[in-house]
Amino acid sequence: MAVLAIVGSSLMAGCGGDNPTTLRVMAASSLTGAFAEVEAAFELAVPDVDVVMITSSSSSLAAQIVDGADVDVFASADEEQFERAADARTFDPPRVFATNSLVIIVPPGNPRDVRTVDDLARDDVLVATASEDVPIRRYTDRLLAMAGVTANFVTFEANVSGIVTKVATGAADAGIVYVSDLVGADVEGVDVPSQLDVVARYPIAAATNSSRAELARRFVDFTMSADGRAILVANGFTAP
Amino acid sequence: MNRRHPDRPPRAARWLAAVTVVFFCLPFVGLLWKTPWSRLLDVVTDESGRRALWLSMRTSVLAALLSVVFGVPLAWVLATSRFRGRNLIRALCLISMVLPPVVGGISLLFSLGRTGLIGRWLDDWFGFRFTFSSWGVVVAQVFVAMPFLVLTVEGALRQADTRLAEAARTLGATPWYAFRRVTIPSISGALIAGTVLAWARAFGEFGATITFAGNYPGTTRTLSIETYVALESDPGRSMALSVLMVGISFVVLVTLRDRWLGAERSS
Amino acid sequence: MTLRVDALVRRADFVLRVELTVESGQRLAIVGPNGAGKTTLLKCIAGLLPVNEGSISLDGGVLDDADTDQFVPPERRDVSVVFQDYLLFEHLSVLENVAFGPRARGARRSEARERARELVATVGLSDLSERRARALSGGQRQRVALIRALATRPRLLLLDEPLAAIDSSARGELRSTLERQVEGFDGTTLLVSHDPADVEALADRVIVLSAGNVVWDGPVSESGWRIR
């Protein structure tokens, strides 16, 4: 029994260090790549801080915050999910730190020759999208409404990476995701005409009543600094 | 030792067992405590819930049956043959038990998906797709569930008395007839347990299904996917669906308990 | 139903070497110490074990021939076995156990059950026809095992220590039943037993096996001390 207890606690203890402050950042999954770099840069610039990055669909993160999850910074892929979180927890006024455009993705080689938004309505084109509360779905619906197109949806994935997987493996013939998702994915992009461009706005804010609020605000400021913006742009976002 | 119950396990074991039971019961107690009971009726009567329930039931039962049809011969071969590479083959057949289900789903996409190894041939020649179809759901479930049946049945076959099959052979039974009429009945307890286990795994399956078959109401949105999706937008609904799933599994496991315990007692 | 064995079988502890002819209708007893190869010999004749060299034939038809690589599987040999542990099918009734052989060989259910009923009556178990085999006593099981083996009308009947598991007090009566059935059986019988009383009652010829070889062969009347 004693042996079990010792082994168990040492496995859970993790590495020591000088007791750095843990900063819990929740970020939309489309920010995964970009924020990994932001995390690294921030930890380099600010001593004694350990950023814990939690990425998931913004709707999932908002649900967790509503449920009482401990968070210091929330970066959402749309303002709606941010407001949902802000209803449950006090945040500083949010600031839009990045915007993202939408793009149609197709499998390598574009097997169904998808060139315009209208092609998404074809019977022979299987379109993947996300389920209702995921921000990308809202943006997609808005775009399709503007174009007057009813897309041939065959699946409602739980998050953006689900859409990318279905298209990259050729199971689906097309999908609509953020421009930033093109980076490193095994898919081809088909541009959306500028008059139909729906801009995704990403708000970020620090949680107000946290013991780490100061540090959280520094993180938010860092994201909006020149260094932060450079990282975002390199990852496919537009930083206003 | 206790005078009245000399067979009882020692007190320390009973205490550990009690702690373990609490560990398993706690999540259900928590679930039942927080579930808004009024929603329970909603989820079984609204269209989305009913479609998901019907889909889950028919796919998991079919998956369990397919697991028996294909899994029992496999278990027979693994238990009785002694060819080179048998251990490797067995490991390959059982590996999906250990893999994260999403990995299983992705592997299925690459093999049976539209552009996969076999999938592209199916699509080109027959216009048939597993992805985004209920058959895809069944395939994903069979992939994760069958190993449980194979493991259970193989174990039982190894322990079964082979002399009974020999006796049947001397009476004129072909190996297959002996297997069907003598060996299988002798392991009926394990066979039933394995089938129920496979069904339960198939019923609860999520990761491989959503990755391989997708998520479309009525065709591929199973009850587990429905529950997950509801979690983000409507937690109350999600809880009610969870209670439904727990309830169904509980009923199946409890009603089948006597059959499989009963069969064991007599063998 | 002449059985001809001229074979060599390699086992873990010994090598069985037997050259034997058993004429139609004869009743042969095989005796010898444990580990001498008696059960191995029965298994080879039943088709549960192939020979390594030589051959076994019944009525001129090859059952097993190592040189020409012919092997007739047990289900196609007309050889029935009464096993030492009976090996009844526990989940089946007495009637179903006895009908198993004929059914396996393709008989219709009603025919098989009819035949089974006749046989069950000859050993006085008609009242227990529908009882599950797992609920029978030792003596009852022995009788069922015997008639199950006879149900297929085999040309050769092998009895492996048929009364070994029976209480000595019950043995006498069961031996008489066995004797009666074997008398009524028109094929050839091979019996393995440690019990001289069994040999006396059920055989007319004895061979003694020791360490894989036949060391004595003669009529029961002359066997005397050798079988003890």
Facing residue for C74 by CB, picked from B169, B185, B188:
B169
A180-194 per-position pLDDT tens digit: 888 888 899 998 888
pLDDT averaged over chain B? 88
The more confident residue out of B33 and A10 is B33
Q: Give the architecture-level CATH label for domain C3-91+158-227.
A: 3-Layer(aba) Sandwich (3.40)
pLDDT over 70 at A1, yes or no:
no
Do residue A42 and residue A90 come from a single domain?
A: yes
pLDDT averaged over chain C? 89
Q: Which residues of C touch B189 (CB under 8 A)?
A: none
Flag whether A5 is in a domain. Answer: no
Facing residue for B171 by CB, picked from C90, C91, C152:
C152
Q: Which residues of A touch B214 (CB under 8 A)?
A: 128, 154-157, 166, 171
Question: Do A and C touch (≥3 CB pairs < 8 Å)?
Answer: no
Contact C81 B170 (CB under 8 A): yes
C140-187 per-position pLDDT tens digit: 999 999 999 999 999 999 999 988 888 888 888 888 888 888 888 888
A107–chain B Cβ distance below 8 A for any pair = yes
pLDDT over 60 at B10, yes or no:
yes
Give residue A11's pLDDT band: very low, low, confident or very high (50, 70, 90). low
| Shortest Cα–Cα distance, B257 to chain A (Å) | 33
C76-92 per-position pLDDT tens digit: 999 999 998 899 999 99
Subunits touching C (CB < 8 Å, at least 3 pairs)? Answer: B
The span from the CA of A30 to the CA of A169, in Å, is: 19
Long-range (24+ apart) CB contacts under 8 A made by B10-19 are none
What one-letter code names the amino acid at B191?
L
Flag whether A12 is in a domain. Answer: no
Facing residue for A171 by CB, picked from B113, B217, B233:
B113
Facing residue for B132 by CB, picked from A155, A162, A170:
A155
pLDDT, position A84: 92
Are B249 and B203 spatial neighbours (Cβ–Cβ below 8 Å)?
yes
Give residue C100's pLDDT band: very low, low, confident or very high (50, 70, 90). very high
Give residue B96's pLDDT band: very low, low, confident or very high (50, 70, 90). confident
Report domain extents, chain C. 3-91+158-227
Best of C75, C76, C157, C159 to disrupt the B interface by mutation (most B CBs within 10 Å)? C75
Do residue A94 and residue A107 come from a single domain?
A: no
Comparing A196-200, C69-73, C111-115, which segment has the lowest mean pLDDT?
A196-200
| Shortest Cα–Cα distance, C75 to chain B (Å) | 4
Cβ count near B57 (within 10 Å): 14
pLDDT, position B18: 94
The residue in chain C having the minimum alpha-carbon distance to the alpha carbon of residue B167 is C87
A18–chain B Cβ distance below 8 A for any pair = no
pLDDT over 60 at A14, yes or no:
no
Give residue A174's pLDDT band: very low, low, confident or very high (50, 70, 90). very high
| pLDDT (average), residues B88-111 | 89
**Cα Rg of chain C (Å, integer):** 17
pLDDT over 60 at B58, yes or no:
yes
Nearest Cα neighbor of A155 from B102, B111, B209, B126 is B209
Q: What is the CATH number of the domain that holds A111?
A: 3.40.190.10
| Shortest Cα–Cα distance, A17 to chain B (Å) | 32
Q: Which residues of A touch B115 (CB under 8 A)?
A: 107, 169-171
The residue in chain B having the minimum alpha-carbon distance to the alpha carbon of residue A131 is B229
Nearest Cα neighbor of A207 from A88, A89, A121, A32 is A89
Q: Which residues of B touch A166 (CB under 8 A)?
A: 131, 214
pLDDT over 70 at A48, yes or no:
yes
A85–chain B Cβ distance below 8 A for any pair = no
DSSP B97: G
Flag whether A230 is in a domain. Answer: yes
pLDDT over 70 at B29, yes or no:
yes
pLDDT averaged over chain A? 89
The span from the CA of C127 to the CA of A186, in Å, is: 76
Do residue A58 and residue A93 come from a single domain?
A: yes
pLDDT over 80 at B233, yes or no:
no
Contact B132 A171 (CB under 8 A): yes
A166–chain B Cβ distance below 8 A for any pair = yes
Contact B214 A155 (CB under 8 A): yes
% chain C with pLDDT above 70: 97
Contact B166 C73 (CB under 8 A): no
pLDDT, position A15: 52
Do residue A172 and residue A223 come from a single domain?
A: no
pLDDT over 70 at B1, yes or no:
no
**Cα Rg of chain A (Å, integer):** 20
Do residue A63 and residue A117 come from a single domain?
A: no
Per the structure block, which two tokens stand in for B199?
């069904």
Contact A170 B113 (CB under 8 A): yes
C206-216 per-position pLDDT tens digit: 999 888 888 88
State the total domains in chain A.
2
Q: Which residues of B touch A162 (CB under 8 A)?
A: 210-211, 215
pLDDT over 50 at B263, yes or no:
no
Subunits touching A (CB < 8 Å, at least 3 pairs)? Answer: B
| pLDDT (average), residues C136-140 | 89
Q: Is C131 exposed, middle or buried (0-12, 13-18, 19+ CB in 10 A)?
A: middle
Which numeric CATH code is attached to B40-266?
Answer: 1.10.3720.10
| Shortest Cα–Cα distance, B26 to chain A (Å) | 19
DSSP B181: I
Do residue A187 and residue A114 come from a single domain?
A: yes
% chain A with pLDDT above 90: 59
Nearest Cα neighbor of B132 from A157, A149, A201 is A157
Residues of C with CB under 8 A from a CB of B: 46-48, 73-77, 79-81, 83, 85, 87, 89-91, 100-102, 104-105, 134, 148-149, 151-152
DSSP letter string, chain C: --EEEEEEEE-SS-EEEEEEEE-TT-EEEEE-STTSSHHHHHHHHHTSS--SEEEEEETTEEEEETTTTEE--GGGS-EEEE-TT----TTSBHHHHHHHHHHHTT--HHHHHHHHHHHHHHTT-GGGTTSBGGG--HHHHHHHHHHHHHTT--SEEEEESTTTTS-HHHHHHHHHHHHHHHHH--SEEEEE-S-HHHHHHH-SEEEEEETTEEEEEEEHHHHGGGG-
| pLDDT (average), residues A117-136 | 91
Q: Which residues of B touch C77 (CB under 8 A)?
A: 170
Are C158 and C74 spatial neighbours (Cβ–Cβ below 8 Å)?
no
Do residue A210 and residue A177 come from a single domain?
A: no
A60-76 per-position pLDDT tens digit: 899 899 988 999 999 99
Contact B171 C100 (CB under 8 A): yes
Flag whether A240 is in a domain. Answer: no
Q: Which residues of A touch B233 (CB under 8 A)?
A: 59, 63, 132-133
Range of the domain at A126: 100-199
Q: Which residues of B touch C46 (CB under 8 A)?
A: 170
Do residue A195 and residue A213 come from a single domain?
A: no
Give residue A8's pLDDT band: very low, low, confident or very high (50, 70, 90). low
| Shortest Cα–Cα distance, B229 to chain A (Å) | 7
pLDDT, position C83: 92
Per the structure block, which two tokens stand in for B216?
């479309």
| pLDDT (average), residues B128-144 | 92
pLDDT, position A9: 67
B266–chain C Cβ distance below 8 A for any pair = yes
What one-letter code names the amino acid at B196?
V
The span from the CA of B23 to the CA of C201, in Å, is: 67
Q: Which residues of A touch B109 (CB under 8 A)?
A: 165, 169, 171
pLDDT, position A91: 93
Classified as helix, coil or strand, A175 is strand
Flag whether A2 is in a domain. Answer: no
Do residue A108 and residue A173 come from a single domain?
A: yes
% chain B with pLDDT above 70: 95
pLDDT over 80 at C52, yes or no:
yes
The residue in chain B having the minimum alpha-carbon distance to the alpha carbon of residue C158 is B170
- For A55: left if phi > 0, alpha if psi spans -120 to 50, otherwise beta; the answer is beta
Q: What is the ipTM of this complex?
A: 0.90
Contact B216 A156 (CB under 8 A): yes
Flag whether A15 is in a domain. Answer: no
The span from the CA of C193 to the CA of C159, in Å, is: 8
pLDDT over 90 at C25, yes or no:
no
Q: Give the global pTM.
A: 0.80
Alpha carbon distances (Å) from C197 to C82, C83, C123, C218: 18, 19, 21, 17
| pLDDT (average), residues A208-227 | 91
Comparing A201-205, B46-50, B257-261, C92-96, which segment has the lowest mean pLDDT?
B257-261
Alpha helices for A77-192 (secondary structure H): 79-88, 135-147, 160-168
The more confident residue out of A9 and C78 is C78
CA A183 to chain centre: 13
Do residue A67 and residue A155 come from a single domain?
A: no
pLDDT over 70 at B258, yes or no:
no
DSSP letter string, B23-35: HHHHHHHHHHHHS
A127–chain B Cβ distance below 8 A for any pair = no
Best of C84, C89, C160 to disrupt the B interface by mutation (most B CBs within 10 Å)? C89
Cβ count near C35 (within 10 Å): 15
pLDDT over 70 at B261, yes or no:
no
Per the structure block, which two tokens stand in for A174?
């097309």
Q: Which residues of A touch B136 (CB under 8 A)?
A: none
Contact C104 B168 (CB under 8 A): yes
B259–chain C Cβ distance below 8 A for any pair = no
Cβ count near B41 (within 10 Å): 10
Classified as helix, coil or strand, B87 is helix
Are C185 and C154 spatial neighbours (Cβ–Cβ below 8 Å)?
no
